[in-house]
Structures are given as C-alpha cells and as structure tokens.
C-alpha cells in the first residue's frame, strides 16, 4: 500500500473513524502494511491510555465484567477500547460471537471500540499483535484499553507484558487456579477480582487470596481485591472507580512507569530477535534444512549441521 494511502487512513483513525481503525488492524494482520510503517505514524501519540489486562479461567465472567464497567467508565467521560483475544477454534468462532453479544453495552457509542482477534497466530504472535492493536486504539484516543485473555498460567505472563495493569479474575470454584498464585503468578497481578459473588463460597476465596497475599514476602505493592457480581452488580462500581483513579494517576504511578520501560525494552529485544532470525533464514539455509533426511540423522550431529548451515551466506 502506498505511504500516501496509509497516511490518509492514519489521519482518519486519529479522528476516531471506526473503519480506519479497523483498516489499520486488519492491514497489519494481513501484511498489507508492516508494523514498522504503522508504528512510525502512531507510536509517539499512543501514550495517554491505561492498558488493562483482564485474564482468568474460561467463563469466569471477564467479558461480562467489561460489559458492566464500560457504562460506568463512560459516565466519567473516558473512552474505552477492548481487545478480546479469542480462545476458540477458528471453525466455531464461538467466543467471538460470545464477546460480541456480551459486550453489548458498547453498541452505538462512538467512544467504545471492541475488537476480537483469533489466537491461532503463531506462538507469541497474538500477544504482539494485541500490543500493536492496543497502540492503534490508544492513538485513536481510547483512554482505557482492556485486553481480555483466557487462561491461568502462560497467558497471564504474556498479557502482563503488554499492559500497565493485570487483573486476575477468579470465581468461587477457582480453588485449583488459586494454587497457581503461590507458584508466582501473584507478582503479575495488580488487581484481584472474585467474580460471581452471588454464588456461595466467594468469601472463602477472598479469604484465601488474602492469606496468600499476607504470607508472601516482598509483597510491597498493595493489591486490591474486589468481590463482584455481574448478576447483582455488587462491587462493579468500586472496581470502576479504582480503574478511573489508576487512569488519573498513571503518570505518577511508579509501578506503571516501571512496567512501561520494561515493555519498551522487551519490544526492542523481540524486534531485533525477529529481524536477525528473518535475515538468517535465507533460501539457501532453508533448503539445507529441508534436505535433512534419514541418512543425515544417522551420520551428522546437529552441531555439525548447524556449522554447515551457518557457513551458507
Ligand atoms: N451467576 C453469575 N454468572 C455470571 C457472572 N458473570 C458472568 N456470569 C455468567 O458466566 C458466563 C460466562 O461469562 P463471560 O463473561 O462470557 O465469561 P468470560 O470469562 O468472558 O468467558 P470466556 O471469554 O469464554 O473465557 C455467562 O453465562 C455469564 O452470564 C456473575 O457475576 N454471576
Ligand atoms: Mg470472554
């Protein structure tokens, strides 16, 4: 695509034109233009948003919570972007529809942009893409940006790497996942949510999270726990107030600033690694890799082959 055309799209996206925002995202996704090109145009103006990861086990109510939060955040006159990373298979697309249906408080509001994305891109690729998308949303003026991911474990790590705050959502039945907190996920969380508080045992869960928190050494940051219910509305307002106050103080918040520097560092590292790898794997080297057969396995140590491949310029 020509630079002129991209500039035109960027200009419109800056003015919150929905089609242009989508065009930028789809354009990156489909290699119509490169991340680098887009980044050159938008990056400098994508720092005024608070990026919040919403993560937790499947069905914990992550989308429902965002749906309840959106009107409250809008009441504060802040605009909202949502990126929902779709865990479902590409065939059924179940969750895509699910998110569309549940985040329905956004319909007909120009200051809310919701985008689902597939998780079938190559490993690590989804997170990077979500990071690019969140920059685009920030550039278009969205002030609070949610990134929803499913899972307990690896996905928390990746979402916490691309956001300013990580929210872990649990439900009263989350006993097993809570065990993981002890295994280090704790450090990643900035906010805990015990959702579905209309069900029994939610107090018990709040208590065990509190216990884990207070027994953890080096726990310098105060991590809030909100008990919420999307059914009765309990705790949602408190959660929204906390998000708004994080937003208002984000430029003074040392933790957030530290995370942003780490994020920038990690991004640089990852771009360089990708660049070097792309350059390394030229056609000649790839062919040599493809030529590996039964006899190479038996006759050559992988180290020898590596030297040979490296020798191909
Ligand atoms: N009882 C009760 N049900 C809830 C609550 N929050 C969400 N649900 C229900 O739980 C189900 C899953 O909600 P979602 O918001 O789709 O959960 P999710 O975490 O986004 O799910 P995935 O994106 O598929 O992982 C839906 O049927 C919701 O209506 C709640 O606070 N109480
Ligand atoms: Mg969801």
For the domain that residue 149 is a member of, what is the CATH number?
3.40.50.300
Asked whether 139 and 13 are in contact (CB, 8 A), the reply is yes
For residue 134, is pLDDT > 90? yes
Residue 259 lies in a domain: no
**pLDDT score of 1 more than 70:** no
Atom of ligand 1 nearest to the CA of 60: 19
Same domain, 67 and 110: yes
Structurally, the chain folds into a number of domains equal to: 3
The phi-psi region of residue 197 (left if phi > 0; otherwise alpha if psi is between -120 and 50; otherwise beta) is alpha
Q: Please work out, in degrees rounded to the nearest 5, the angle formed at the alpha carbon of residue 97 by the alpha carbons of 91 and 98.
A: 115
The whole-number pLDDT of residue 89 equals 42
Mean pLDDT (whole number) for 180-197: 82
pLDDT digit string (tens) for 255-279? 899 999 999 999 999 899 989 998 9
Q: How far is the CA of 85 from the centre of ligand 2 (A)?
A: 8
Residue 275 lies in a domain: no
Which residue's alpha carbon is nearest to atom 13 within ligand 1?
61
Range of the domain at 33: 1-40
Residues 90 and 165 in one domain: yes
Q: Work out which ligand 1 atom sits closest to the CA atom of 230.
A: 31
Identify any residues that bridge with 211 across adjacent strands, giving them in sequence order: none
Could you tell me the pTM of the whole model? Answer: 0.89
Mind listing the pLDDT tens digit for each residue in 75-127? 999 999 999 886 554 433 344 444 444 566 667 889 999 998 876 554 457 88
Nearest-atom number in ligand 1 for the CA of 67 is 15
pLDDT of residue 217: 62
Pocket test for ligand 1, best of 155, 230, 232 (most atoms within 8 A of CB): 230
Phi-psi category of residue 201: left, alpha or beta, with phi > 0 → left and psi -120 to 50 → alpha: left
Does 304 lie in the same domain as 233? no
**pLDDT of res. 222:** 80
- Is 231 near ligand 1, meaning CB less than 6 Å away? yes
CA 162 to chain centre: 6
Per-residue confidence (pLDDT) for residue 98, from 0 to 100: 47
On whether both 206 and 302 belong to a single domain, the answer is no
Claim to verify: residue 112 and residue 206 sit in the same structural domain: yes
The verdict on 220 and 296 lying in the same domain is: no
**The token pair that represents 82 in the structure block:** 């949502």
Picking from 18-27, 31-40, 46-55, 84-93, which range would have the lowest pLDDT averaged per residue?
84-93
Q: Would residue 135 count as lying in a domain?
A: yes
Same domain? For 182 and 242 the reply is yes
Q: Whose CA is nearest to atom 17 of ligand 1?
A: 61
Report the alpha-carbon distance of residue 297 to residue 301 in Å, rounded: 7
Q: Are residues 162 and 307 in the same domain?
A: no
**Cβ(155) to ligand 1 under 6 A?**
no
Is residue 78 domain-shared with residue 204, that is, in the same domain?
yes
Q: Is residue 262 part of a domain?
A: no
From the CA of 66, which ligand is nearest? 1
* Rounded Cα distance, 24 and 6, in Å: 8
Residue 260 lies in a domain: no
Torsional sign, CA 124, 114, 84, 134: positive
Residue 263 falls inside a structural domain: no
């Amino acid at each position: 695509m020509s630079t002129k055309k991209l500039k035109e799209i960027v200009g419109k996206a800056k003015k919150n034109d929905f089609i242009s925002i989508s065009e930028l995202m789809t354009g990156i996704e489909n290699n119509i233009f490169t991340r680098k090109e887009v980044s050159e145009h938008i990056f400098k103006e994508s720092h005024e948003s608070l990026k919040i990861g919403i993560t937790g086990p499947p069905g914990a109510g992550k989308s429902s919570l965002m749906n309840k939060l959106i009107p409250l955040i809008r009441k504060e006159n802040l605009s909202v972007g949502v990126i929902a990373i779709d865990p479902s298979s590409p065939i059924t697309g179940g969750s895509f529809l699910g998110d569309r249906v549940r985040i329905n408080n956004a319909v007909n509001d120009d200051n809310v942009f919701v985008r689902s994305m597939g998780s079938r891109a190559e490993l690590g690729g989804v997170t990077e893409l979500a990071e690019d998308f969140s920059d685009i949303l920030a550039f278009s003026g969205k002030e609070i940006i949610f990134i929803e991911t499913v899972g307990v474990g690896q996905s928390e790590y990746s979402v916490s790497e691309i956001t300013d705050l990580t929210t872990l959502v649990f439900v009263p039945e989350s006993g097993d996942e809570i065990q993981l907190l002890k295994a280090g996920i704790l450090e990643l969380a900035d906010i805990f949510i015990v959702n579905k508080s209309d069900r029994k045992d939610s107090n018990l869960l709040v208590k065990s999270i509190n216990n884990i928190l207070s027994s953890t050494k080096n726990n310098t940051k105060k991590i809030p726990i909100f008990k919420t219910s999307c059914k009765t509305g309990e705790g949602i307002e408190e959660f929204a107030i906390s998000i708004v106050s994080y937003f208002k103080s984000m430029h003074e918040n040392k933790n957030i600033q530290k995370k942003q520097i780490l994020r920038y560092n990690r991004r640089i590292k990852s771009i360089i690694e990708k660049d070097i790898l792309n350059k390394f794997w030229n056609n000649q080297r790839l062919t040599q890799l493809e030529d590996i057969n039964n006899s190479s396995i038996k006759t050559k140590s992988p180290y020898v082959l590596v030297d040979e491949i490296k020798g191909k310029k």
